[in-house]
Chain A
Amino acid sequence: MSTVTIHDDADAAVASVADGATVLVGGFGMAGMPVTLIDALIRQGATDLTVVSNNAGNGDTGLAALLSAGRVRRIVCSFPRQKDSWVFDGLYRDGRIELDVVPQGNLAERMRAAGAGIGAFFSPTGVGTPLAEGKETRTIDGRDYVLEMPIRGDVALIGAHRSDRLGNLVYRRTARNFGPVMATAAATTIVEVREVVPTGALDPESVVTPGIYVDHVLDLSALEGDVA
């Protein structure tokens, strides 16, 4: 379906997220994190979520606020422990959140596989380490690999720089990070952008995420108040 809904209301953009959903949350630290969508998801109330994100929240806003609200049962990430991850640290030490640590490249590739229809893949990353325990291994042309399964999302929440009205996305600098991969790996992809431009205004050669992967776009420039 080529229908992309452009929203000027964050609450409407996340209205369909269900309890128990697996939510892919973009961002590397705060760069590219869809803070406005996450705040709306907190208001929306979905709970018992599995969140897939590189980190486990920074400071008290964005993903950290979702964790703090008690909505996340399990987090799949590569690097939870940081100097400003006190919200996650507290929940983890109290046994109130499950943690699945995945090497960053495997995390990205597992979502890429989900989005690309790949059933599983053999990765050299993690061979011989505790993170490969219990996983199938294979030697191919003399090198050892570990079988890694796709990670699929019910929903992806990502941030991008600009969208047109068909959901074609461009990103800015290293805020691109997980956005393009997560957009492909979720049944429903919801994007917040700083600006929605008319269809035709983006150079087709520079589009990073084609609109086929995008379902909902929140136009931050159309929100009330100073958000973007």
Chain B
Amino acid sequence: MSGTLEHLDRGPLSKDEIAAMIARDIPDGSYVNLGIGQPTLVADHLDADSGVVLHTENGMLGMGPAATGDDVDPDLTNAGKIPVTELAGASYFHQADSFAMMRGGHLDVCVLGAFQVSGGGDLANWHTGAPDAIPAVGGAMDLAIGAKEVFVVMSLFAKDGTAKLVRACTYPLTGLACVSRVYTEHATFVVGPDGATVVETFGIGVDELRGRLDVDLHRLTT
């Protein structure tokens, strides 16, 4: 790929298109954890022969699709407590092992949602910090610093129009400098020590993005 691709002849990506793009960027054979909500959609776009193995932090590798009908088993759920199925080659383990494999750097990719991501890759996705909000973190902090690569999928702007890719997170942090890529309906980014680089845009150009985001945006050069 040479230079940032600006797709100006189309509108923003749909949620399914974003999920397909993330699935395309997950290397074959990866061990992957998909967060609750929009990240779960990625599973629908993984090729059956990709060799990708899904991890669920409540204690399983080789998780299959959501269970229906007679396949529903209260003893077999995903991290969102939704009944799921097991694939051939699945394995079960307890919570300390599940998070040890995460912290120990054995998980290749995790896909998470976010309230905010900074250009340097800081993540805020567990708590709005509102005084009446009940804080709940689950496995988000462990995943953020444990997986080799953290992909974030989010809308680029909050409902009130505020940008979610920012110079510095204002929400309570989940992890420091842990995100490597950000996928949104308007653009995809690589973030990290070198700041935010726009990889592709959809229905908007880099210059217009620069006007709407308070974060330095680089163009892809190589």
Q: Is A57 an interface residue (CB 8 A)?
A: no
Residues of chain B lying within 8 A (CB to CB) of residue A129: 141, 172-175
Inter-subunit contact A104/B99 (CB<8 Å) = yes
Chain B, Cβ-Cβ closest to A185: B96
Given A28-B58, A79-B138: A112 touches B96 (CB 8 Å cut-off): yes
Q: Is B76 an interface residue (CB 8 A)?
A: yes
Q: Mark B103-137, 1 if CB is under 8 A from A, else 0.
A: 10000000000000000000000010000101111
> Which chain A residues numbered 10 to 36 have a C-beta less than 8 Å away from chain B?
28-32
The residue from A104, A174, A178 contacting B137, defined by CB atoms under 8 A apart: A104
Q: Is B180 an interface residue (CB 8 A)?
A: no
A128 to B132, CA, bound (A): 23
Inter-subunit contact A178/B94 (CB<8 Å) = yes
Residues of chain B lying within 8 A (CB to CB) of residue A106: 141-142
Most A CB atoms within 10 A — which of B57, B77, B146?
B77
Inter-subunit contact B175/A128 (CB<8 Å) = yes
Inter-subunit contact B59/A177 (CB<8 Å) = yes
Inter-subunit contact A177/B75 (CB<8 Å) = no
Inter-subunit contact B93/A176 (CB<8 Å) = yes
A134 to B145, CA, bound (A): 20
What total of A-B pairs shows CB separation below 8 Å? Answer: 143
Q: Is A181 an interface residue (CB 8 A)?
A: yes
> Which chain B residues numbered 155 to 182 have a C-beta less than 8 Å away from chain A?
172-176
A111 to B52, CA, bound (A): 31
Most A CB atoms within 10 A — which of B77, B96, B134, B146?
B96
Q: Is B100 an interface residue (CB 8 A)?
A: yes
Chain A, Cβ-Cβ closest to B126: A129
Inter-subunit contact A80/B58 (CB<8 Å) = no
Chain A, Cβ-Cβ closest to B63: A174
A184 to B158, CA, bound (A): 45
Inter-subunit contact B145/A92 (CB<8 Å) = no
Inter-subunit contact B173/A104 (CB<8 Å) = no
Residues of chain B lying within 8 A (CB to CB) of residue A29: 77, 81
**A residues apposed to B, CB below 8 Å:** 28-32, 54, 58, 78-82, 89, 92-93, 99, 101-109, 111-112, 123-131, 161, 171-181, 208
What are 6 residue pairs bridging A and B, where the CB atoms are less than 8 Å apart in the complex? Answer: A78-B139, A124-B145, A126-B141, A128-B176, A174-B75, A177-B95
**B residues apposed to A, CB below 8 Å:** 56-60, 73-77, 81, 86, 92-96, 98-100, 102-103, 127, 132, 134-142, 145-146, 172-176
